[in-house]
A and B are shown apart, each in its own frame.
Chain A
C-alpha cells in the first residue's frame, strides 16, 4: 500500500495526473509481458532503463 501512496504523491506533485490512464494501460501491458515471459531478462546493453 505504501508503494501506491508514494506513487500517487509523486504523480500529484509532478502534476502528471494526465499520465495516470496511460500509466495504468502501460502497466497492464507490462504486467502481461511479465506474466507471459517467465523470467525478467535484464536487457541492458544501453543502460537507459
Chain B
C-alpha cells in the first residue's frame, strides 16, 4: 500500500491531499482550518486532517510531494530581474529576503515543519513535482478518460503559464508550454487589479461583472496588449504591465490606454466603464481558450480534454468551450487552483515517478470532491452544547422534509452535511441554500447573509435528471464549473424598457422562473446534483421539487464575504448567528434562529477583510 501525501503551500491556497495506492482518500485546504482565506502558510492542520481521515500517521506515509520546484522558480525570478535591471529593484528587495531565508531552502523548511508531526521524518521522503505537471496530473489522473489532451492555464508556476500535455493510461507528457511573462492568468489578474478587486481572489467578481457590460474594449486589448495567434499562442506586450518585476499589475501606459486610473477598492464605485472592461477581458479570455482548444483538437485528434489551473475556474469560458463542441468530452478538475496542486503532486509521484498503473473510474476519481473532514451527530451535539445552541434532533427523512419546506417558505438555510468539499466551490455539503423562484432572494442573500456586492450572481443546483428542461445544457456539471443559459421556455419575455436598462439596473428585473440564479444575460453557473455522489443533497432537492415543481435550489458557499467556507460545526454556528440565516441544519440537527438564546455573533462580517 503506497501512501503519498501531496502538499501545496507558501504561495496561495495551501492544501494537503492523501492518496493510497492511487486512490484519493482525503484532501483539504488550510484556509478552512486557519480561517484565513487563501491561506499560504504551511498546511499543518490540513495535513493532520487528511491523515486522520485516512487513519494513518505521518510515519506511515511513504512520500511527501510538494507541488512546485523552488530552484526553477528562483531561476525564473533571477532571469526576470536581470532582464529588467535596474527597474525591478524594489520588487527584488522585497522578494530576496523571503527567498534567501525560506523558499530557496524549501526542503529544509518542509522537513522541519513535517517533524512537528513526526520527529524523525527523513528528508529523503520529500519529492518535488513541477507546478504545471501537478496541475495536469490533478486533471488527467482524476478524470474519467483513458486518453486525453490536458490543458493547464494559470498565472505562473515556475516558468510555464500555459501547458499542453498528452495523458495516456498512467503516462502524462507535457508537449507544449508558454512561459512567463506571457500569461493568460496574469492578463486576467491585471484587469482584476485594474477594476479594483484583489488579485488571486477577485477574479470571480470580474467574471460576475462581465455580463453587465459590453465588450467594447476587446479589440483594443487584442490590438495592443496581446498578440494572439491563430493557434491560440500569444505574447503580452510587457510595456503595459508591471507585474514581471514591479509591485503592481499594470502601469501608467496601461491606464492611459484605457483612459482611467485603476479603481480604488475602498472609495471608487463600480461603474459601467468597469463592467465594459470586465466584459472585454472576458471576451478576450474566451477567444484565447477557444483558439487553443481548436488547434489542439486539430493537431492531436483526441476527443477528450482535461482542464486545470486557475483559468480553468473561469466557468464562463468553460461553458463557451462546451457550447462550441470542439471536444466531445471535457472534464475540469474541481480544485483547479493551487490547492489542487497538492493532489496533482501526489498523483504525479504515484504514476509518473513510480510508474504505478492507473485504473480509470467510471464517473471520475474525485468522489464528488467531498474529500474533507466530516462530523458525526454525536460530535456535532457536543460542539453545539458547548456553545449553548438550541437544536432539535430529527430523523433523516424529517430533516430533508423540514429543510425543503423551509426553503420553499422563503427561508435561507445553512446546510452543513457530510465531508467538506475540496476546491473553491461549496457543492451541497457546506452551502447556504434558498429558493431560486424568489424575486428578492438574490438581493437578500447578497446584502443580509453574505454581505457582499449586490451585482454578484448565485449559482443553481439542479437535479441532473432535470437539467435539460431548465437549462441549455446536456451532460454533467457536478463541480459548478460550466455556465449555461436558462432554458428558453423558462425565461420571461422582457419589455422594451427592461431591455433598455444599463449596468446594475438590469439586476432588478426578474428574467426567468428562477430569477435568483439567472444572471442578467440569462446565464447560470450550474451544479448538477447526482444521487451517486451526494445522495442526501439529491434527496433534498428532490423533496423541494416534490413540494414546488422546481428541481433547482440556490446554492452559495456557507460563509460571508472574505471568509473561508465554514469547516466545522462551530464555524457554521458562528456564521449562522452572525448573519440573517433563518435556520441551520447540521447532519440531522435542526436549529432555528428564532429559538436561539445565545447572543448573535457581534461584528461578524467586519471580522473578515473584503477580498
Contact = CB atoms under 8 A, between A and B. Distances in A.
Contact of A19 (B12, B78, B243, B244): B78
A48 interface: yes
Nearest to B180: A48
B108 A33 contact: no
B461 interface: no
A35 to B, nearest CB: 9
Given A3-B107, A47-B11, A47-B12, 12 more contacts: A19-B78, A29-B92, A33-B93, A37-B97, A40-B101, A41-B94, A41-B97, A43-B91, A43-B94, A43-B98, A43-B247, A45-B199
Interface in B62-84: 71-72, 75, 77-79, 81-82
B189 interface: yes
A30 B96 contact: yes
Interface in A16-49: 16, 19, 22-23, 26-27, 29-31, 33-34, 37, 39-43, 45-49
Given A30-B99, A33-B93, A46 B243 contact: yes
> Chain A, interface size: which category?
20 to 34
Nearest to B94: A43
Contacts of A26: 78, 81-82, 92, 96
Closest 5 CB pairs of A and B: A30-B96, A40-B97, A43-B94, A49-B95, A10-B71
A3 to B, nearest CB: 6
Of the candidates A7, A22, A40, the one having the most CB atoms from chain B within 10 angstroms of its own CB is A40
Nearest to B41: A42
Nearest to A37: B97
A48 B247 contact: no
B502 interface: no
B199 A22 contact: no
A46 B99 CA distance: 15
Main secondary structure on B side of the interface with A: helix
* Main DSSP-derived SS at the A contact region: helix
Q: In the complex, which of the residues A14, A23, A31, A46 has the most CB atoms of chain B within 10 Å of its own CB atom? A: A46
Contacts of B107: 3, 6
Interface string A1-15: 001001100100010
Interface centre among A14, A29, A30, A49 (most CB of B within 10 A): A49
B79 A49 contact: no
Contact of A23 (B78, B105, B155, B200): B78
B102 A40 contact: yes
22 contacts: A3-B108, A16-B75, A22-B78, A22-B82, A26-B81, A29-B92, A30-B99, A34-B100, A39-B97, A40-B98, A40-B101, A40-B102, A42-B40, A43-B95, A43-B98, A46-B199, A46-B249, A48-B155, A48-B243, A48-B244, A49-B95, A49-B98
Nearest to A3: B105
A48 B156 contact: yes
Most chain A CB within a 10 A radius of its CB, from B12, B81, B98: B98
